[in-house]
Amino acid sequence: MRTLRLDLADRSYGIHIGPGLLDQADLYRPHIRGRRVVVISDRQVAGLYGERVCAALADYQPLLLQFEPGEASKTLETYAVLADALIEGRFDRRVTLVALGGGVVGDMTGFLAATYQRGVDFIQVPTTLLAQVDSSVGGKTGINRPGGKNLLGAFHQPRCVLADTATLATLPRRELVAGLAEVIKYGLIADAEFLAWIERELPALLAGDDEALQRAIYRSCEIKAQIVAADERESGQRALLNLGHTFGHAIEAATGYGAWLHGEAVGLGMLMAAGLSARLGRLPANDVARVAALLERAGLPTRLPADIATDTLLGFMAGDKKVLDGQLRLVALDAIGRGVIVSGVPLQVLAEVIDATRAGAA
């Protein structure tokens, strides 16, 4: 087991990474203040791991709540059903929620924990690669509205993160690949050596090699933890973590959420961000080709489908949360391993980048 810490004064917490963690009662116990625990999961993950987590938490009379898997469940309606179950079960402020699942479960459970009785403790037990390297760490929680993703949310840090790498063995390959997009993101924004390591170890990562995955998750969480510790509420550098996300969220919205996985959309979004960086004179063209080659080898999309119009994407980008005072802020690259926040990018340049990605020549 590998462990690292996210340093946030009295809200600091440990991130444990390794196979078989979700059965280990001792890893949960120090973080549970009250006598009751509620495990929240989706039906898919609950069917695979719910019983084992409840067995580990047997001392706390665990209640297992579950909802339908997928992004379409990250709604106010699901939130209300879960909240009502807590209210009906008369859970008090000392309850600890355990988020068992991918980013959808983590974001939903975190938001419920942030708001139930003005805030209760929660533990993240992420079971997708995306959740283990990204969404379970950093305290962003939230749910979607028809007008956009994560528009209702709160910052609420978990008490600890247990990333059980053995759970990745049951993860569909497409989900694993989508998670790799976020791993690649950390290399691109913060660590050129890590990116080179990913390029070398890609076959092992795709084959589900536990040692390679543990190392990828550890380094990803380490980078995220450093950035979040310095800028918890995203007043500056934390925005670097959004590389590819403004483009990616627009792709998800334009395709009606669900057709593309979040990581797939972010992967193509990162290629667009690299293309943008080249157009802004920040990144050599061969580095854009390098990003495209890696995404392609990983099995991530590198082309925008012909039926997504440029104006449609630009429209969604303008509605993104990262618009401040009417200025679209985007993450670009000054080099492989060096992300930079840029604003005031002319719409015309964005349109060119989108068009070029459609033709497959970002």
Ligand X SMILES: NC(=O)c1ccc[n+]([C@@H]2O[C@H](COP(=O)([O-])OP(=O)(O)OC[C@H]3O[C@@H](n4cnc5c(N)ncnc54)[C@H](O)[C@@H]3O)[C@@H](O)[C@H]2O)c1
End-to-end C-alpha distance for the chain, whole angstroms = 40
Which among 234, 252, 279, 358 is annotated as catalytic?
234
Binding residues for ligand X, rule CB under 6 A, total 30
Q: Are 334 and 276 in contact (CB under 8 A)?
A: no
Rounded CA separation 203/199 (Å): 9
In the residue annotation, 238 being an active-site residue is answered as yes
For ligand X, which is the closer residue by CB, 150 or 255?
A: 150
Residue type, 356: A
Closest approach of ligand X to the CB of residue 277, in Å? 22
* 140 is an active site residue: yes
**Phi and psi dihedrals of 102, rounded to 5?**
-85, -165
User: What is the C-alpha separation between 95 and 296, in angstroms, rounded?
Assistant: 45
Q: Are strands 2-6 and 63-67 parallel, antiparallel or unpaired?
A: unpaired
| Catalytic hit among 175, 182, 222, 252 | 182
Contacts of 210 (CB under 8 A, 6+ apart): 19, 165, 166
Is residue 262 within 8 A of residue 250, CB to CB? The reply is no
Nearest CA to 322 out of 149, 83, 159 is that of: 149
Contact call for residue 103 and ligand X (CB under 6 A): yes
Residue 101 lies near ligand X (rule: CB under 6 A): yes
Q: Does 276 bind ligand X (CB under 6 A)?
A: no
The three-class DSSP label of residue 261 is: coil
* Choice from 3, 12, 170, 343 touching ligand X (CB under 6 A): 170
From the candidates 74, 149, 185, 224, which is the catalytic residue?
224
CB of 154 to ligand X, least distance (A): 11
Q: Enumerate residues 6+ apart whose C-beta is below 8 A from 175.
A: 102, 128, 129, 130, 261, 263
Of the candidate residues 6, 53, 105, 125, the single one contacting ligand X (CB under 6 A): 105
- 183 is a contact residue toward ligand X (CB under 6 A): no
Does 44 bind ligand X (CB under 6 A)? Our answer is yes
Greatest extent of the chain over all pairs of C-alpha atoms, in Å: 60
Among 1, 4, 8, 48, binds ligand X (CB under 6 A): 48
Residue 245 known to be catalytic: yes
Bridge-based pairing of strands 13-18 and 2-6 is antiparallel
Contact region for ligand X (CB under 6 A) — 30-38, 86-94, 127-135, 192-200? 127-135
Residues 55-74 interacting with ligand X (rule: CB under 6 A)? 69-71, 74
Q: Which tokens belong to 36? A: 């009751």
Q: Which CB sits closer to ligand X, 167 or 277? A: 167
Q: For binding to ligand X (CB under 6 A), which residues are involved?
A: 42, 44-45, 48, 69-71, 74, 101-105, 107, 127-128, 130-131, 134-135, 138, 140, 149-150, 167, 170-171, 175, 178, 262
Which are the catalytic amino acids?
A: 118, 140, 182, 224, 234, 238, 242, 245, 249, 262
